[in-house]
Structure 1
Amino acid sequence: MAFGYDLGGGMGSKRMGAALAAAIALAAALPACQRADDGKATAVPAENRAQTTPVIPLPAQIQAREGEFVLDAGTRLQAAGGNAEAARIAGDFAARLQRLRGFAPPVDASGTAQGEAKTTVVFAIDPQAALTSDEAYTLEVGPEGARIQARAPAGLFYGAVTLWQLATADGARGPARIAAQRIEDAPRFAWRGLMLDSARHFQSVDQVKALIDQMALHKLNTFHWHLTDDQGWRIEIKKYPRLTEVGSCRIPAGASGRDPATGEPKPYCGYYTQDQIRDVVRYAAQRYVTVVPEIEMPGHAQAAIAAYPEFGVSDVLKAPPPVSPDWGVHTYLFNTEDATFVFLQDVLAEVTALFPSRYIHIGGDEAAKDQWQASPSTQARKTALGLKDEMAMQSWFVGRIEQYLGTHNRRLVGWDEILEGGLPARATVMSWRGTKGAVEAARAGHDVVLAPAPDLYFDHVQSDNDDEPPGRLAAVTLKSVYEFEVVPAELTPDQAKHVLGAQANLWNEHRRSFEAVERAAFPRAAALAEAVWSPKGARDWNGFLRRLVPQMARYQAQGYNASDSAFAVRFAVERDGQGHPMVAMSNQVGFGEIRYVEGKGTLSAQSAAYASPLPLRPPTVFQAATYVDGKPLSAPRRYAPADLAALTMRTANRLRQCKGGLNLRMEDDAPADGLGGRSPRAGLLADVFDPCWIYEGAAMDRVGAIEVRVGQVPFNFQLWHDTPKVVTRPANGPDGALEVRAGSCEGTPIAVLPLGSARLNPGLTTLRAKLPPLQGSQDLCLVFASGNHDPLWAVERVTLLPR
C-alpha cells in the first residue's frame, strides 16, 4: 500500500485572489448551534470574510459585530471557574502569542480576578453548553475582550487556535487588532488525520512533535504513525529486543550504503524507545491529537522476520532475509502458526500499553501470498482450517488479531485489502486503492476512513517545478486536495454515516530529510483540514487562497518549512510573431501578483509587476516571486540563460515520459559533487518500468549537437508480479549508451552517447554528441541502451547546441 503498484485503476497573475464568495450556511448547516440574538449581529459580507476571519479551516458560522478588540500584553487570560485544563490551554495560547507577536498576556488560573485589566479573554469549559460535540466551540469577540466556550477541553483548544490565528493574521509584532465577531464552529468529521511513514526514513522525536504541533494548529486530530515495514522496525518491544537490534537497521542501496572514506557498508538505523513513544503520545494528547500506531501484518514484515526468522514462512526461507533496502511489494509474510500469534499478541500487548488510542492499525495491505502458496506447512494449515484460499487465510489471520484487540477494548483498522476474504464486524477499513474499498465497506456496515491514492497521497509531488522535492508522479496539487470530497457520491445517507473522515498519507521512500517531509505535508494538509472540518457547502477555493496568505507567513514565523510550490514563479520560453525569444512567468494557482527584476537589483514588492511575456536577451538574469498585499507568498525563483543555447535547455520535468508507468522523481544519496561532497543530488525523473523521455517540438533547423546531463540511481524496487514489465535494452557498446532518435522511439538513432564516463561517477555526468542536420520541428526520443536495468539511468536535463 505504501508504494502502491496498482497500475489500473483562474485567475490572472496580475490580480489578487477574490475573497470568500459563497455565504456561509448558518443554523441550517449545524442545527444544534445557536444563532446570536444580538441585534447588531450581521452576516459577514462575502468580499470581506477572508479579511475579517482569516482562519483555516474555515469556521462553520461567522457573524460580524461592531468594533474591534485590541489584544496586548495587558489583556488578562482568565480560566473560568479556575478550571485547570482551561488554564493550561490559556497558557499555551499565551506562549504561542509570545513566539509570533512578542508578548504573553498573564494567565489568571483562579477564575476570580477582577479589575485592572482593560480587556479579558475568558477560556470557559461548560459540560452543559449547547454544542454539537466535544470538539465544538463558540468564540465571541468584542471591544472589551473575547470569550471562548466549549463543553470539553478539545473544543476550547480549537477555539483558542482560532483566536490565535485571528491575532496573528497581520504578521506583525506587538498588539493585535481583531475584528469583533461571533463564531460558532464544529468539525464535519471525527477522523481528521495525517499519516507519517517513519519506517522507510526515520524522524527524530522533536521532528515528530513539530509535525503534530502543526496538525493541531489546523484542527487535525489523528496522527497515524507507520512504525514498521520491510525497511525498518522503529518501535522498541522489550520482550523481543532483536526487533530493534536487527530490524531497525538496513544497508541502503546505492552510494548511501557505503562509507565514502572506506567503502565499507554504512547502516541506516533508528527506532523510538518506549519512553520516547510515551513522550510523543503525551505531547500529542496535550494538543488533542490521538496517535494511532500501525504494526504491519501479515505482509510488509521483512524487517521483523530478519530479526526473528522463525516467525516467517520457515519451510520456504533458505536463510534469514536482510532488512530490505528496496522499495515496493515484498513477499515476506508472517507464518500462520500458533507461536507466531503468540509473538504478535505479545507485541500488541506492549503497543496497546503505550498507545491509549481506541484504534490500532494492523496494515494488511500488499500481502503477496507467494510464500504461503509455496509452503507445505501453510497449505496444511489452510486445509485443516477449511479455508478456500490464501485470501480467506488472511481474513482468518486478521480475525484472530481482531479478537485479541477486542479483549483489550481496542478496534482494529486496516487498509482496504482486509476486505478480501471477509472482515470481522467491528473492523474499520481505511480505503487507499481509490474510494472503492470505502464504498464496499460502508455498504457492508463497516466504518471507513478515506485515504485514497493518489488524491490524498502526499508522497506525490505537488508541482513540476525544477526544485520540487522527490516523490511520485503525477502531481497532487494544492487545489486537488482542497477539492477532495470525503463522502463518496455512491453512498446513501445511511451508508455515509459510516464515513469517519479522511486522512492524507505521507510515505517517505524518497524523502530522507525532515524538511522534505514538512514541504510535502503543508500547505496541502491545510487544504485537507478544510475538507474534513468545514461545512461542505461553505468551502471556496479563492477564499481559501486568500486566507492562506497569512497562514504561509505563520509557517515562516514558526520556522516551519511549508512548500510554496503552488505560488512559485515558473519561467517558460516562448516565441513572438517574428520568432524572437520571450520569457513568460506564471504560478500554478494563478493567484497573487508576480513581481520581477532583470539584471542587477533587489527583488521587492516595489519591483515591476509582470503583465506579459518579456524579451529575452541572453546573457541575462531574471528574479521573480509572487506577492499579495505587498508581502512575498513565495521565495524568489531565478532564471539565468547564459546564451541562446541555454533557451533550449529542458529539465526532466519539462520532458514527457514515453509511457504512463511508475513515474518517480528520485534522489540518490550521492551528492552532485560526488561521494564525500556536500551539495545535494539533483532530482532524477524516470519511469521505473521503462525509462524513456520525449523532448517535444525541438526546433532543429540550427541545431548541430546535443548535451545531456545524466545520473544513476540503484534499482532498488521490488515489483512483485509487475517485474516482467521492466524494459531492458541491449547494451550499445561495452559500457552502454544513451540513444537519441528523431520522430519516434523506433528506427536508427541519430546520436549515440557512450556511458563510460558516467559509470565512473556517482553524481551527474554531462554527455555530448553531434547531431545530423535536421529540418523543422522534431520530437526527440531518449533511451538508455545499457544492457541492464540496474542501475536505473535517468536524464536530468537536455540542451540542444547550435551548429
Structure 2
Amino acid sequence: MRKRLRLVGVMAVLMVLLAPVPALARQEQAPPVTVPALSDWTPASGSYAFRPGSRLVADSPAERRVAGTLADDLRAAGHGRVPVMTGGTRAGDIVIDVRPGRAALGDEGYELRAGERLSVTGATETGAFYGTRTLLQLLAQGDRIPAGRTVDVPRYKERGGGVCACYINISLPWLENLVREMAYHKLNQLLLELKVKSDAHPEANTWGYYTKDQIRRLVALGERYHVEIIPEINSPGHMDPWIENRPDLQLTDSDGAKQPSRLDITQPAAFDYYTSLIDEYAQVFTAGSWHMGADEYMLGSDFAKYPQVLRYAQEKYGPDATPQDAFIDFVNRVHAYAAAKGKKLRIWNDGLTGANTVPVTAGTTVEHWLNVATKPSQLLAQGYPLMNAAYALYLVRGGFHSDTKGLYDQSWDPRSFEGEKLASSDGITGAKISLWPDNGRGETENEVSVGLWPALRHVAQATWSDPHPDATYAAFTARGTAVGHAPGWRDLTRVPVADGTYTFDADGRSFDAEVRRTADGYMTLRTDEGCLEIRGGKLTLNVPLQPGVAAAPQACDAANTLQRWELEPAQGGYHLVNAITRMAVSADADGALVQYPPDQRPPALWHLTAH
C-alpha cells in the first residue's frame, strides 16, 4: 500500500513538472525590458525592492563617482534623495563595485545582480556606470526588479552619433538632452562639427559659433556621463565658416577666382592657420581624437582647375605624383600634428578615391559614409580602423531621414556599409547616426527629435548587442516607451505662456501679438501686419544667419519655420529666440527688432502682459 501511495505521489510530481508553463510564469523568466536589450539573463526567485531607506554603497573614489551620478539621476527621475554610504550593506541597498580583476567584463561591460540587494560590478568605472544606466531603466518601470543576474558587454567599441552644428547653431539644452539620452542607452561617442569662438582669429567670428564657456559646460556633462565629445573642423573643404574673411588662405582657380570654401593646401600659412585652431579647441575639448573631415574638397569642381595643387604634389613626391597626393599630404600633416598633441585623427572616407600614390598615415580612423571607389574591405585590408557612418543612418534636416523600421526589419548591423556588407566585424570600431543641416529651415530642432530618438535607440541596440532582439519593430519601439527618457532630460516643447494676445515690452519698445503654440512646441507671433519672421541678409543653408538681420512681420505661413519662436525664461522676463537661427532679438536705436548672438549684444528682456 505504501509503494502504491509513493508511486501516486511521484506521478503527481511528474505531472506538475511536465504540465505547460503558464504564460505569466514564462514571462517572468524573460529578461527585464531595457534598451539595448539584455542578451544574457539568469532569473532567480523573488525580486529586488527599491524603497525608502535604500542606500548607495560605494567605497573607492571611482565607485563613489558612479554612485554620486546615480544619486543625482535617481533624484531627477523622482526617486528621492538616496544617500551614498561606505561599509556594510543591508537589504534594499544598491552596491557599486569596481573590480579591475574582472577582465572578462572589458572596459565597458558590467554584471548586475538583483535580489535582496542589487549590485552593479564593472572592471572599470565606465563599466559600473553603464550598469547604473540599466538600473535606471528598470526603475523607470517600477520599484520592483525581478531577481536575477546579467553579464552585459558591448560588441563594438564606438557607439554614437554625429551632429553638424557647423553653420546653424543647435541650442545647448538640445545638445545636453542628446548627451543624456546617449549615455542612458550606452552610446559613448558624440562627434560635433561646430565652430568655437576664436580668440586667435577674431576675423573668423561670424555667426555660427559657440563660446568656450558653453563648450566647457557641454564637455563636462559628457565626461560625467561617459560620452566622449570629439570636435571636428572640416578641412580642407567646407572651410567657409572660417576663411570667408581670409581670401589670402582661399584656393584660387585657374581663372583667378577665389574659392571661399576651399583652403589652399599648398600654402604653409593655411596649414599653420588650421593647426592653430586645433590648439585653440584643445583649450575646451578633452577628447583623445580630432576629426578633420577631409570630405568633398573638390565638390562641384575638380583638381584640373587648380594646377598649383599638382605642382605642389610633384615637387614634394616626384613626377608621378597626382593632385590627390597633395590632398593626402595635408591629411597626413594634420595627422602628425594631432598625434604630437596626443590626439588620434579621424576622417570621412569619400576623399579616399584611390587616385593617390601617397598612403594615408597608418592609424587614421576612417568613418565610412559614402560608396566610393575605395571599398570598406580595402580600407580594412590596409589596416585602417573603420567606423560605419553610413548614409542610411543619416537624418538630414529638411531632407532624407533614416528608415529606422526598415533597418531594424533587415537586422542591420555595423558590418553593413554603403555599397558593401562585410562577413566579419574585425577591424570595425562601431557605428553612429548622423544629423546634417542641409536645408537648415526645413525642420526645427524639436521636429528633428521626433525622428532622432527611435533612430538613436536602434543604433544603440545594433552596436551594443543583438541587432534584432524582438520579432517586430513595434515590439522593439515598445522598449523605448517602457524605459522612457533619461533622467534630467528636458521637454523642450513646452511653451511657458498660454495661447492668447499679449503686449511685449522691452527697453521702451513694445508691440502687440497673438501667441499661438505650434505643433513642434514653439510659437508664432501674429501682429496686425503679419507674423514675426527673420528675413534678409546672406542665406546660409537657406537660413539668414548674419547678426543684425531684422525680425519683421510677414505674411503668415504655418509651414515657415523662420516664423517660429521660443520664449526663453530669463531674469523675471523672457528672451525671444528664433527657432531656426537660435539668435535672440533686441531693439536697435531706431526701434527695429534685430537678431544677434548673445555675446555680441545682450538679448532684450521682454515682459508680457496678457490682454
- The TM-score with structure 1 as length reference comes to 0.55
SS in 1 for 2:209: coil
Partner residue, 1:163: 135
Do 2:177 and 2:490's aligned partners in 1 also have CA atoms closer than 8 Å?
no
SS in 2 for 1:307: coil
Q: 1:317 to 1:90 in 2, by over 3 A?
A: farther
Q: Quick one: distance in 1 between partners of 2:248 and 2:65?
A: 49
SS in 2 for 1:354: coil
- Report whether the alignment pairs 1:402 with 2:381: no
Equivalent position to 1:364, from 280, 283, 294: 294
Equivalent position to 1:131, from 92, 101, 104: 104
Do 1:481 and 1:528's aligned partners in 2 also have CA atoms closer than 8 Å?
no
**Aligned positions of 1:317-328 closer than 5 A:** none
Equivalent position to 2:345, from 397, 412, 427: 412
Partner residue, 2:579: none
Q: 1:349 to 1:473 in 2, by over 3 A?
A: closer
Partner residue, 1:104: 81
Deviation at 1:205, TM superposition (A): 2.9
- Report whether the alignment pairs 1:336 with 2:336: no
- Report whether the alignment pairs 1:528 with 2:459: yes
Partner residue, 1:427: 364
Do 2:167 and 2:241's aligned partners in 1 also have CA atoms closer than 8 Å?
no
Equivalent position to 1:471, from 378, 387, 398: 398
Do 2:364 and 2:384's aligned partners in 1 also have CA atoms closer than 8 Å?
yes
Q: 1:544 to 1:673 in 2, by over 3 A?
A: farther
Which amino acid counterpart does residue 99 of structure 1 have in structure 2? A
Spell out, residue by residue over 1:109-156, the C-alpha distance to the aligned partner (whole angstroms, 9 max, x if none): xx2256xx54211011111124331201000001x2201111111111
Which amino acid counterpart does residue 168 of structure 1 have in structure 2? A
Deviation at 1:204, TM superposition (A): 3.0
Deviation at 1:219, TM superposition (A): 0.3
Q: Quick one: distance in 2 between partners of 1:674 and 1:423?
A: 61
Q: 1:213 to 1:381 in 2, by over 3 A?
A: same
Spell out, residue by residue over 1:85-126, the C-alpha distance to the aligned partner (whole angstroms, 9 max, x if none): 322322322222223334222221xx2256xx5421101111
Equivalent position to 1:515, from 418, 437, 446: 446
RMSD: 3.7
Spell out, residue by residue over 1:738-768, the C-alpha distance to the aligned partner (whole angstroms, 9 max, x if none): xxxxxxxxxxxxxxxxxxxxxx968489xxx
SS in 1 for 2:77: helix
Do 1:332 and 1:371's aligned partners in 2 also have CA atoms closer than 8 Å?
no
Which amino acid counterpart does residue 435 of structure 2 have in structure 1? L
Which amino acid counterpart does residue 210 of structure 2 have in structure 1? Y
Spell out, residue by residue over 1:185-218, the C-alpha distance to the aligned partner (whole angstroms, 9 max, x if none): 0111000010011113212333322211111001
Equivalent position to 2:202, from 237, 241, 259: 241
Q: Quick one: distance in 2 between partners of 1:502 and 1:277?
A: 24
Equivalent position to 1:311, from 246, 249, 265: 249
Q: 1:557 to 1:49 in 2, by over 3 A?
A: farther
- Higher normalized helix content (fraction of residues): 2
Do 1:124 and 1:148's aligned partners in 2 also have CA atoms closer than 8 Å?
yes
Q: 1:129 to 1:383 in 2, by over 3 A?
A: closer
Q: Quick one: distance in 2 between partners of 1:183 and 1:127?
A: 18
**Aligned positions of 1:716-795 closer than 5 A:** 763=557
Sequence identity percentage:
24
Q: 1:85 to 1:555 in 2, by over 3 A?
A: closer
Q: 1:320 to 1:374 in 2, by over 3 A?
A: closer
Spell out, residue by residue over 1:657-712, the C-alpha distance to the aligned partner (whole angstroms, 9 max, x if none): xxxxxxxxxxxx9999998516999xxxxxxxxxxxxxxxxxxxxxxxxxxxxxxx
Which amino acid counterpart does residue 506 of structure 1 have in structure 2? L
Q: Quick one: distance in 2 between partners of 1:290 and 1:243?
A: 26
Which amino acid counterpart does residue 528 of structure 1 have in structure 2? V
Q: Quick one: distance in 1 between partners of 2:114 and 2:150?
A: 9
Which amino acid counterpart does residue 200 of structure 2 have in structure 1? K
Do 2:250 and 2:259's aligned partners in 1 also have CA atoms closer than 8 Å?
no
Q: 1:185 to 1:305 in 2, by over 3 A?
A: same
For structure 2, list consecutive stretches of 5 or more residues without a partner in the other structure. 1-20, 494-518, 543-553, 560-611
Do 1:486 and 1:501's aligned partners in 2 also have CA atoms closer than 8 Å?
yes
Deviation at 1:319, TM superposition (A): 7.8
Which amino acid counterpart does residue 197 of structure 2 have in structure 1? E
Spell out, residue by residue over 1:508-550, the C-alpha distance to the aligned partner (whole angstroms, 9 max, x if none): 2345533133223202101110000014575654542332231
Q: Quick one: distance in 2 between partners of 1:511 and 1:182?
A: 47
**Aligned positions of 1:637-652 closer than 5 A:** none
Do 1:51 and 1:547's aligned partners in 2 also have CA atoms closer than 8 Å?
no
- Report whether the alignment pairs 1:66 with 2:45: yes
Deviation at 1:379, TM superposition (A): 4.4
SS in 2 for 1:219: coil
Count of equivalent residues: 484
Q: Quick one: distance in 2 between partners of 1:131 and 1:298?
A: 42
- Report whether the alignment pairs 1:348 with 2:278: yes
Deviation at 1:440, TM superposition (A): 2.7
Deviation at 1:280, TM superposition (A): 1.8
Do 1:414 and 1:430's aligned partners in 2 also have CA atoms closer than 8 Å?
yes
Q: Quick one: distance in 2 between partners of 1:451 and 1:131?
A: 28
Deviation at 1:372, TM superposition (A): 5.3
Q: 1:203 to 1:126 in 2, by over 3 A?
A: same
Q: Quick one: distance in 2 between partners of 1:679 and 1:449?
A: 41
Q: Quick one: distance in 2 between partners of 1:503 and 1:50?
A: 33
SS in 1 for 2:48: strand
Q: 1:398 to 1:130 in 2, by over 3 A?
A: closer
Q: Quick one: distance in 2 between partners of 1:672 and 1:532?
A: 47
Q: Quick one: distance in 1 between partners of 2:528 and 2:151?
A: 57
SS in 2 for 1:341: helix
Q: Quick one: distance in 1 between partners of 2:25 and 2:109?
A: 24
SS in 2 for 1:381: helix
- The TM-score with structure 2 as length reference comes to 0.71
- Report whether the alignment pairs 1:284 with 2:257: no
Which amino acid counterpart does residue 374 of structure 1 have in structure 2? K
Deviation at 1:64, TM superposition (A): 0.9
- Report whether the alignment pairs 1:218 with 2:185: yes
Deviation at 1:57, TM superposition (A): 0.5
Q: Quick one: distance in 2 between partners of 1:237 and 1:679?
A: 30
Q: Quick one: distance in 2 between partners of 1:207 and 1:764?
A: 23
SS in 2 for 1:88: helix
Spell out, residue by residue over 1:358-380, the C-alpha distance to the aligned partner (whole angstroms, 9 max, x if none): 22111111111748543454443
Spell out, residue by residue over 1:385-426, the C-alpha distance to the aligned partner (whole angstroms, 9 max, x if none): 336333222112212211222222322111102322242222
SS in 1 for 2:335: helix
